[in-house]
């Protein structure tokens, strides 16, 4: 299964990945409208970590043995047939056990319920963060 990997040596900390993730998970998918008129604004599922000149984009690792799925008491967190760890908003009750369990800290709290976790942009061939990184610091590929 393909995952997103960061190349920190060429990440420039511009955070365009976060911008495009927000747009992709919005209603209108039009960047200016999303930022100026859509409220509440969706959260970015990718987080750019930064320390000094080092930076890289971090998102859900879609673990083979996901801690969040184990911790989820309603089954809102699940692994689909492709191996992606997905979140079903309708089943989520906002207990936030997944956030506590995730060793990477990539799940964020949304209004009342658990939100943003990377879903690998299932409707697209290439996730938008990868496609829009201006310096090719994110790659989408299968690694053995």
Which residues of the shown chain bind another protein in the complex (CB under 8 A)? 9-16, 19-20, 31-32, 34-36, 53, 132, 134-137
- Cβ proximity to another protein: between 32 and 143 the closer is 32
- Cβ proximity to another protein: between 20 and 62 the closer is 20
CB of 15 to another protein, least distance (A): 7
Spatial neighbors of 50 by CB under 8 A, at least 6 apart, are 13
- Cβ proximity to another protein: between 50 and 88 the closer is 50
Q: How many helices and strands in the chain, by DSSP H and E?
A: 5, 6
CB of 136 to another protein, least distance (A): 5
Q: Residue 89 — left, alpha, or beta (φ > 0 → left; ψ -120 to 50 → alpha)?
A: alpha
d(CA 120, CA 59): 9
CB of 8 to another protein, least distance (A): 9
- The 3-state DSSP class for residue 105 equals coil
């Amino acid at each position: 299964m393909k995952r997103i990997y960061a190349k920190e040596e060429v990440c420039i900390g511009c955070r365009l990945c976060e911008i495009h993730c927000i747009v992709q998970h919005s209603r209108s998918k039009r960047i200016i409208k999303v930022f100026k008129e859509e409220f509440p604004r969706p959260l970015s599922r990718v987080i750019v970590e930064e320390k000094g000149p080092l930076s890289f984009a971090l998102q859900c690792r879609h673990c083979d043995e996901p801690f969040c799925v184990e911790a989820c008491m309603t089954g809102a967190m699940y692994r689909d047939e492709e191996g992606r760890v997905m979140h079903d908003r309708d089943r989520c009750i906002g207990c936030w056990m997944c956030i506590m369990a995730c060793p990477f800290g990539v799940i964020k709290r949304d209004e009342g319920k658990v939100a943003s976790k990377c879903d690998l942009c299932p409707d697209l061939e290439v996730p938008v963060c990868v496609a829009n990184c201006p310096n090719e610091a994110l790659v989408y590929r299968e690694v053995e």
